[in-house]
Chains A and B, each alone.
Chain A
Amino acid sequence: MSDTATQTRSVIVEREIAFPPEKIWRALTRPELLEEWLMKNDFQPAMDHRFQFRGDWGAVDCKILAVEPHKLLSYSWAAYGLESVVTWTLTATAKGTKLRMEQAGFRADQQQAFQGAQGGWRKFFGQLEQLLARQP
């Protein structure tokens, strides 16, 4: 297998937010607050807890991997048969909090993930069709 095929990629979004870590932590871990900015969910900040985020387009299957109150939150994120890990890091600063989100683990070659996700396939192609309909 080539290097490009096994390479993992990640998405990082980082912002300084003018609120303390404790307050941001609540927004990251309370289901009713998470729903307001992210998606409907049955989240619980407990190790190994399995939950889902649900959007109009389908569901994301998640499992809690790490919880350090006010500091670190990590969960697996599987959508369309593609597995990744979302990690939130909160660092107190003079102005508030530096909030960092890293979603890691996309492989350029998603062969295994595709093969193991028949339900995901259908959703994936449903979306492709919609995209296609919008192509000029």
Chain B
Amino acid sequence: MAPTTGEIFSSLADPTRRALFERLCREGEKTVAALTARAGVSQPAVSKHLAVLRQAGLVRDRREGRQTHYSAQFAALAPLVDWTSRMAGFWEGRFDRLEDLLKRMDQ
């Protein structure tokens, strides 16, 4: 089942998880060990955070030998980034303001 917007929100609300996710977005695929080296928390803690992100569909894991590699899943952000509907609302409001201004402006 697809994760809900609420699940995505709450998985990114934690600053450590958000930092892990951002790093995967910026730097591409990483192992748990590589992520732990700069996370400021223990490897089990990093693994736990990654499990939450995976649950929300934000990361994907790939096993290779004894290592697990994690990568960011941008498509999972789509429910949060519905730009078309957000921007449509924005522009409708600005059109209203533009019309108000035109009424106040001199010819």
Contact = CB atoms under 8 A, between A and B. Distances in A.
A101 B9 contact: no
A46 interface: no
B25 A115 contact: yes
Contacts of B77: 110, 114
B contacts with A: majority SS: helix
A128 B26 contact: no
Interface of B: 6, 9-10, 12-13, 18, 22, 25-26, 74-75, 77-78, 80-81, 83-84, 87-88, 91-92, 94-95, 97-102, 105, 107
Interface of A: 5, 9-11, 13, 15, 17, 19, 23-24, 26-27, 33, 36-38, 82, 84, 99, 101, 103, 106, 108-111, 114-115, 118, 121, 125, 128-129, 131-132, 135
22 contacts: A5-B75, A11-B88, A15-B99, A17-B99, A19-B102, A27-B98, A27-B105, A36-B101, A37-B97, A37-B98, A38-B94, A106-B83, A109-B74, A109-B75, A110-B74, A114-B74, A114-B77, A121-B22, A121-B25, A125-B18, A132-B9, A132-B10
